[in-house]
Amino acid sequence: MKFLRSSALTLAVGYIGLGLAALALFAAPLWYAWRVTIQEGRNEILQSDAQRLTEVFRREGAAGLISYVDQRVGLQIAGERLLLVADARLKPLAGNLSAWPSSVPANPGTYTVKLELGQHMTDVAIVHATLAGGYHLLVGRDTSRYAPLERRFWYALAGAVAILSVLGTVGGILIRRALMARIHGIRQTVSAIIQGDLSHRLPTHHSGDELNTLSQTINGMLDQIEQLIDGVRNVSNAIAHDLRTPLAELRSRLEELALTKPPIDKTFGEIDAAVADVDQVIRIFNALLRLAEIDSGLRRSGFVPVDVAAVAAAAVEFYQPAAEVRGSTLSLDAAGPAPIRGDPVLLAQALGNLIDNALKYTPGDGSIAVAVRRSDDGSVEIVVADSGPGIADTEKIKAIERFYRGDASRCTPGVGLGLSLVDAVARLHGSELKLEDNHPGLRARMVLTQDTRPITRAARATSDEGEFRHEPVYP
């Protein structure tokens, strides 16, 4: 009985019912009008007939009428028209009826009565007129003459009902089947996803109908979920790797201390090293929390007008001595202010990370160029280019991933979250981090736009501008 519960069938039955009602509403007045017209026409003919015969009687008397009727009956086909002339006692004088029918009312008038014609009882329309001298005149007509037409009308109506019902039912079944096929596809995909395989997507085509639009929306949601889950998976893998290393070191250091009980000065040295291990763990933790905070998109509620050029100038100034110590040059190219709406703390950290990264990977006497350019459309491009070894094309995407550290950089300090933090900040500001070749070296580039919708990550954007970010601790 699943079929009966289907919404497609309910819809089909509803439409069939509606069609039938429309058909009835259309046929009923037609039928009525038709009946009335035929009846009136027939009565008119009978009345004029009766009038003509009355005229004959008035002109030629009873004998004249009788001979006239006899003559007409002789010429006419029986049953086509009924004629009867009777005397005052209703004894038939002329006509094609053998006896005055008892069902005819005694008063003159127009009636429809049942008569036995041949072997059948038939509906007959009659006009009963009384003539001078007590004579009775009966003019009638068999109504069954229009029966075939009437029958055809009913047949046609029944046919229409049948066609409507059959087509409606078949249509309902077909629609249901098509719908069920697509719903089945969706259900299979969703079941696969529930089973844990997030790579499945709902089937879509280019028709742009409602189901397709729905499927596309759901696919978009699935993309987002998959990305988030991948993110979580990557982070847990990375935590497992990068957090375990210092923790393992810390553990073995402490265990060794407890086991060997070395002299006091060596013990203190080991304790200092243990504290440094813990600090590294805390640093990784803080970086992860920061990333999570940015990814949540909540920071967007605190966007304020920021001059990116000023932020870049401060960052360049901050890192200048570090570049000098390494013998590298750090330069800023910014023509005038570059205002956008954004988070000054995060933008400073992102720029700092990019410069820090460039310094770290550029050998001495290299050059690092920071550029901030404002386009006419209000977007602001930030480029940090270095003359270091750069990153191979195959590694460029990986470099932005969390905890990625190029093999060459395993021994330099850092937690491998620098570029992914920059990317997260860029995404929060409606952009993304792009790594390009600087021939030689690396060009890290992001274009911040005024339109700060998130690129892919889910975010709760609010228009609350009340929060002021940059409160100094010591006013």
Partner 1 sequence: MKVLLVEDNERVTQFVVKGLQEAGHTADHAGNGRDGMFLAASEPYDVIIMDRMLPGEIDGLAIIEALRKSGKRTPILILSALSDVDERIRGLRAGGDDYLTKPFAFGELLARLDALTRRSQGDSAQTKLEVADLRVDLLTRKVTRGDRSLTLQPREFKLLEYLMRHADQVVTRTMLLENVWDYHFDPQTNVVDVHISKLRQKIDADFERPLLRTVRNAGYTLTSHD
Residues near partner 1 (CB under 8 A): 272, 275, 278-279, 282-283, 286, 289-290, 293, 298-299, 302, 314, 317-319, 321-322, 325, 345, 348-349, 352-353, 356, 359-360, 413-415, 418, 467-474
- As measured in angstroms, the least distance from the Cβ of 290 to partner 1 is 7
Q: Which is nearer to partner 1, 1 or 264 (CB)?
A: 264
- What is the closest distance, in whole angstroms, from the C-beta atom of residue 466 to partner 1 in the complex? 11
Q: How far is the CB of 337 from partner 1 (least distance, A)?
A: 18
Closest CA to 84 of 41, 115, 60: 115
Sign, CA torsion 256/257/258/262: positive
Closest approach, Cβ 414 to partner 1, in A, equals 6
What phi and psi, each to the nearest 5 degrees, are found at residue 113?
-130, 165
The C-alpha angle 332, 326, 363, rounded to 5 degrees, equals 90
Taking the C-alpha atoms of residue 371 and residue 313, their distance in angstroms, rounded to an integer, is 10
> Does residue 216 contact residue 380 with C-beta atoms inside 8 Å?
no
Comparing CB distances to partner 1, the nearer of 107 and 474 is 474
Q: Which is nearer to partner 1, 138 or 355 (CB)?
A: 355
Residue 318 CB, nearest approach to partner 1 (Å): 6
In what helix (H) or strand (E) does residue 122 lie, and over which residues does it extend?
Answer: strand 120-130
Nearer to partner 1, 135 or 403 (CB): 403
Residue 170 or 289: the one with the smaller Cβ distance to partner 1 is: 289
Query: 91, exposed or middle or buried, with CB in 10 Å at 0-12, 13-18, 19+?
Result: exposed
281 or 400: CB nearest partner 1: 281
**How many residues would you count in the chain?**
475
**What minimum distance in Å lies between the beta carbon of 322 and partner 1?**
5
CB neighbours of residue 260 within 10 Å: 10
CA–CA distance from 474 to each of 302, 470, 471 (Å)?
21, 12, 9
